[in-house]
A and B are shown apart, each in its own frame.
Chain A
Amino acid sequence: MGILEVKGVGKRFGGLQALGDVNLSVNERSVHAIIGPNGAGKSTLLNCLVGKLIPDTGSVMFDGQSVLGRKPHEINQMGISRVFQTPEIFGDLSVQENVMIPCFAKRDGAFELNAFSPALGQKDILAQAEEILEDVNMADKRHMHAASLSRGDKRRLEMAMCLVQQPKLLLLDEPTAGMARADTNNTIDLLKEIHEKRDITMAIIEHDMHVVFSLAQRITVLAQGTPLVEDTPENIKGHPKVREAYLGEAH
C-alpha cells in the first residue's frame, strides 16, 4: 500500500475525457514522477488530489483516508502541499510573510483568532521561516515584495512555502519550468536534499527529463488521460511505447 492510492479516477470536461481510468500508487518516502505530453491530464490529476476538482469516478486515498469531498484546506491539513504550475504566492506580502503563513497554518490549524499578539513576535515561526529561506537561498530577499520577484524566485518561494510545512506528500507541478539551467540544478539539489533530510514523499510533474531522471524512483507516463506504463527510470528510458508517445516528441 502506498501513501497515496489513486484508483480508477476519471474526469470529463464537457466532451473531453481529460482523465480516463487512472490508477496510481505512490510509495511512502519515494519520489514519483508523472510525465506526459501537453494536455495529457497531469495537472487535472493533481487537481483531483488537492480538492480543486472532484473526479467523476474512482477513489483517492491518502494515508488510509479518502480525500474526495474534502475542502482544499482540509486536505492540506492532512499533509498534502502543492506547488502550482503557475506560481501561487501572496504577491502583496513580503517574502518572509509568505513563508510565515504556512507555518501558522501548520502550528495553529485551519483557523485561529490570534488577533492581538504581534506576528513578528512569534519566535518559533520566525525561526522556521528563516531556516527555509536559508535553504532556498532567499534569506537576503526576505523583505522584498513577493510580486516583484523573478519567475524563478517565485517558484522557489512557493516551494519554500510548501516545504516549510513538512508535508507528508509534496505535489510539484513543473517546479523548474521557466527557470534558468543553473536554477534548475539548484532546485534538483534542493529537492534531493529535502527528500533525504526530511523523508518527504514527492509526486512531481515535469517536462525536463534531466530533472525527472535525477530525482525519480518511479515514473508514470500519462497520455490522453490514461497511464501508459509505470516503471523505474531505467526501464522507462528504453520503453518503446513511451518513446513513441512521449520521448519521441521531446527528443
Chain B
Amino acid sequence: MLGLNSKDFRLFLVVIGLTLFAPVLLNPFPTESGLAQFNAGYPDLMQRFVIFGIFAIGFNILFGLTGYLSFGHAAFLGVGSYAAVWMFKLLSYNVLPAIALSVIVAAIFSLAIGFVSLRRSGIYFSILTLAFAQMSFALAYSVLSNPKFNLTNGETGLQVYNDDPQIFHSDRLPDLPHLFGLSMRASTDIALGPWTFTLNAGYYLSAVFMVAAFYIAIRLFRSPFGMMLRAIKTNQTRLNYTGLNSRPYTLAAFVISGAYAGLAGGLLAAMDPLAGAERMQWTASGEVVLMTILGGAGTLIGPILGSGLIKYFENIFSKINDDVLHSWFAFMPDGLEDAMVFIVHPFVGKGWHLTLGIVFMLVVIFLPGGLVEGGQRLWRWITGANRKKSDDQDTKHAPHAAE
C-alpha cells in the first residue's frame, strides 16, 4: 500500500490515527478532576509534539542511519523560523510560502555546513557542527542585528510590525498566521460529558506535515539510499572499496535532515510568529539528540516518541509545584505529608530536568534501543506464549531497521 510493505503500512496507519485523535487521547482526564493538569491535549503543547517530532524524524535520518552525530541541528531550525517570519513581514501571514522558504533556506544552509563538517567524522564532525551552530547563534543574536542591517532583530526576536510591507495582506485576512484565511489559532471546543477536547487548526496543519514527513522517512529508510546510509554506519571502509562514494550520501542525508529541521522551524513560526536566536543554541541541538536516542535511534517511530516524552516532561512536569504536591499527599498525616513533598520536590517543577536526566540514563543503560526497544520487550512479555520462538529469531535475523 502506498509503496510500503504491510508492516510499515500498519505503522503508518497507527501514526495517522494517533495524530488525528491526539486531542482526545492526550486529554484522558475530565476537565474538573485533580488529574487534569496531566492532560496534554491543548493546542500549544500538541503543536510542539508534532513539530519537534518532525525535527527528530529528520535528525534520525542523519544520526540514526549514518551514525554521524550532529550537535548543531538547532541552527537549521532557527534559520527556518527566521525565514518564515521574513515571509510574514514581506508577503503576508499566509503560512504556505513561509514554510516553503524555511525548508529551502535551511536546506541551502545545511548544504554549506554539511559540506565542510563532513570532511571529518566521529567526534570531529560533532565538534564542527557544534561550532557552526554556535557561530550561527552569535550571528543571529548580535552580529546580524544592527540598525544598518537588521536581519534577526537580536535579543527581542524577529517579529512582524505594523510598518512591515506585507504586500499581500488585506483587511479581510486575520492579523495572525493563517492558511488562506483560516487562522492557525482557530479552535473548536467539543464538550463531552465532563471532558473537553480542543480541535485546533494550527495543530492539524502541523500534524499533516508530520504525517507527510513520516511517510517520506519510511520510504527513505526502505530505499537503496537508506540502505547505503546504514552501510555507512556499520562499515564505511567496505562501502568505499565496494565502489560507492560515501561523501555525497552523508551530505544528502545531512541536507535532508537540515530541511526537516527547517520545516519544523517554519512551523514553529507559523504557530507563533516570532523567531528568537535562542532556538539555535546548543541546548536546543542537544535536545534533539536526546529525543532521538530516548525514542530509539535508527527506528522509524522512536524519534516521535522521544520528542513527545521530552516535551511532555518540559511542559507538564515543570508545572507541578509544592501546592500541587501538598494536595496529592494531603491524605497523609502532616509530618509525613511534608516529608513526601520534600522528597518529591526536587524532581518536579523546576527540577523536571533531573527526572528527565534519570529517565534518560535508565533508558540508555537498560534499553539501548530506546523506548521502541522497551515497547518491543513489553510486547514480547505480554505475548509470552511465543516468547521462546521470537527470541531465537531475534538473534538470528537482522533487525530490519525496526519500527
Q: A92-B398, A119-B226 are in contact. List 15 more A-B contacts (CB 8 A).
A: A73-B242, A73-B244, A76-B241, A76-B242, A94-B400, A100-B227, A101-B231, A108-B224, A111-B244, A115-B219, A118-B5, A120-B5, A145-B396, A146-B398, A161-B242
Cα distance, A135 to B221, chains bound together (Å): 29
Cα distance, A77 to B245, chains bound together (Å): 10
Smallest CB separation, A27 vs chain B (Å): 24
Q: Which residues of A contact B321 (CB under 8 A)?
A: none
B interface SS class? helix
- Per-residue interface assignment for chain B, residues 68 to 89, with 1 indicating a CB less than 8 Å from any chain A CB and 0 otherwise: 0000000000000000000000
Contact in complex: A148, B235 (CB < 8 Å): no
Contact in complex: B398, A97 (CB < 8 Å): yes
Residue B327 interfacial (CB < 8 Å): no
- Per-residue interface assignment for chain A, residues 154 to 194, with 1 indicating a CB less than 8 Å from any chain B CB and 0 otherwise: 00000001000100000000000000000000000000000
Contact in complex: B5, A82 (CB < 8 Å): no
Residue B395 interfacial (CB < 8 Å): yes
B398 contacts which of A76, A88, A101, A143 (Cβ < 8 Å)?
A143
Contact in complex: A94, B398 (CB < 8 Å): yes
Cα distance, A55 to B219, chains bound together (Å): 43
Cα distance, A161 to B226, chains bound together (Å): 19
| Pairs across A and B, CB under 8 Å, 28 listed | A71-B240, A71-B245, A73-B244, A76-B243, A84-B241, A88-B238, A92-B233, A92-B234, A94-B397, A94-B400, A102-B243, A105-B242, A105-B243, A106-B243, A111-B244, A114-B223, A114-B224, A115-B219, A115-B223, A116-B3, A118-B5, A118-B219, A119-B222, A119-B223, A143-B396, A145-B396, A161-B242, A165-B243
Q: Which residues of B contact A73 (CB under 8 A)?
A: 240-246
Chain B positions near chain A (C-beta within 8 angstroms): 3, 5, 219-220, 222-228, 230-231, 233-235, 237-246, 248-249, 252, 256, 395-400
Q: Which residues of B contact A90 (CB under 8 A)?
A: 230-231, 234-235, 238-239
A93 contacts which of B237, B248, B398 (Cβ < 8 Å)?
B398
Residue A235 interfacial (CB < 8 Å): no
- Nearest-neighbor residue (CB-CB) of B61 within chain A: A115
Cα distance, A94 to B231, chains bound together (Å): 11
Contact in complex: B248, A122 (CB < 8 Å): no
Cα distance, A116 to B228, chains bound together (Å): 13
Smallest CB separation, B64 vs chain A (Å): 12
Contact in complex: B397, A145 (CB < 8 Å): yes
Q: A90-B235, A94-B400 given as contacts; is B230 within 8 A of A104 (CB)?
A: no
Q: Which residues of A contact B235 (CB under 8 A)?
A: 88-91
Q: Which residues of A contact B399 (CB under 8 A)?
A: 145
Cα distance, A77 to B226, chains bound together (Å): 21
Contact in complex: A113, B225 (CB < 8 Å): yes
Contact in complex: A50, B241 (CB < 8 Å): yes
Cα distance, A72 to B247, chains bound together (Å): 13
